[in-house]
Amino acid sequence: MNETYDELVSLISHGIDMEKKIASGNIKRLNAAMKSGCQDIKLLDSLADPLLDTMLGLSGRGERTYLRFLKYLETFSPKEAKQRREMYEDMMGYKIHTAYVAARLAKKLHKGQVDKAGKDYFEGHLATVGGSGYDWKQKTVGFLHDVAEDTSYSVKDVIRFLQKGLKTWKARPEEQDWIDDFSEIVKQYPHEHLHLPSKDEWNEIEEALHLMNARTVPTREAYINRFKGHFLAIKVKLNDLRHNMDISRLPNPTEKDYVRLERYQKEYEELMEMFKEVCEIQYPTLVEDAGR
């Protein structure tokens, strides 16, 4: 028993040492590349990305180096730097707090409502759409995408509620025990350090929530068409439709349900084309890498 335990400890220790060496080596090479004035983004990414892949790479020295890399990248490619900063903050859980506040708010504002299957609206639909989000912004909008359409509250109200919730969390983090009720839904535990959304991020969330409200356009066609060019709103709407198309949720689907399903499938295809287009415009480097 003791031998097995000692072997396990030795194996873990060896793994930690290996990760330290990997992180240290990449830190040295990345610092050298930046010092030389390198502007080859693909090369810089190949040196910086391993810091995100090692357990110890983003602690202390590794994280400081990655942040210097982002500042360096901003000097000649602000757009690429912004994309990487957002991914870094999301991966570290610095802004996932907003999604937690959104989930709690959605459950409160939709209390008493049910979905087409007769289930609690938050548990039956919003939890799935929000939980399907890839990052904190997609989760936040996913949880709250139906508030303006299905309650008496406006998008402005939603943003104000979110900001108030985050302000309270930042001021009294020790009182946020409620987050455990939503951890399985949000699927990422918040970092001890809370980063508030930037002004641009608040504007992006507000815009996406406005676009998701079908009551503000005269026709369904106009509703879908206005998503064009809006990455965040498109991603959330795709998650929304994907869940709505799961007709197995309905115990006894009717002909009307199948007609609606056909409409959803058509809209999903249209939105997928919009998604491909906006990715090519907003994330050309990532699209190119994904195609390899």
Q: What is the pLDDT of residue 25?
A: 85
Domain 97-290 has CATH 1.20.140.10: no
Q: Tell me the CB-side half-sphere exposure of residue 130, using CA atoms within 13 A.
A: 34
Q: Which residues contact 186 (CB under 8 A, 6 or more apart)?
A: 96, 99, 100, 103, 130, 131, 139
Q: Which strand (E) or helix (H) includes residue 188?
A: none
Q: What is the pLDDT of residue 290?
A: 42
Q: What is the pLDDT of residue 123?
A: 97
As averages over each run of 10 residues, the pLDDT of the chain (292 residues) reads: 68 69 85 96 92 60 88 96 93 96 99 93 97 98 98 98 98 96 96 95 98 96 97 98 94 93 98 95 60 44
Q: What is the pLDDT of residue 116?
A: 86
Q: What is the pLDDT of residue 264?
A: 97
Residue with tokens 């409409």: 263
* Relative orientation angle of helices 231-244 and 199-212, to the nearest 10 degrees: 40
Token pair recorded at residue 66? 């990655």
Token pair recorded at residue 158? 């939603």
- Long-range contacts of 146-154, Cβ-Cβ distance < 8 Å, separation of 24 or more: 146/110, 146/121, 146/212, 147/106, 147/109, 147/110, 147/209, 148/209, 148/210, 148/212, 148/213, 148/215, 149/212, 149/213, 149/214, 149/215, 150/110, 150/113, 150/121, 151/109, 151/110, 153/109
In the three-class reduction of DSSP (H, G, I as helix; E, B as strand; rest coil), residue 114 is classed as strand
Residue with tokens 């983003």: 58
- Residue 101 and residue 179: Cα distance in Å, rounded? 8
Q: What is the pLDDT of residue 21?
A: 76
Phi, psi dihedrals of residue 95, rounded to the nearest 5°: -120, 5
Query: In 10 A of CB 155, how many CB atoms?
Result: 21
Looking at residue 267, what DSSP letter applies? H
pTM, full prediction: 0.87
Residue with tokens 């708010």: 105
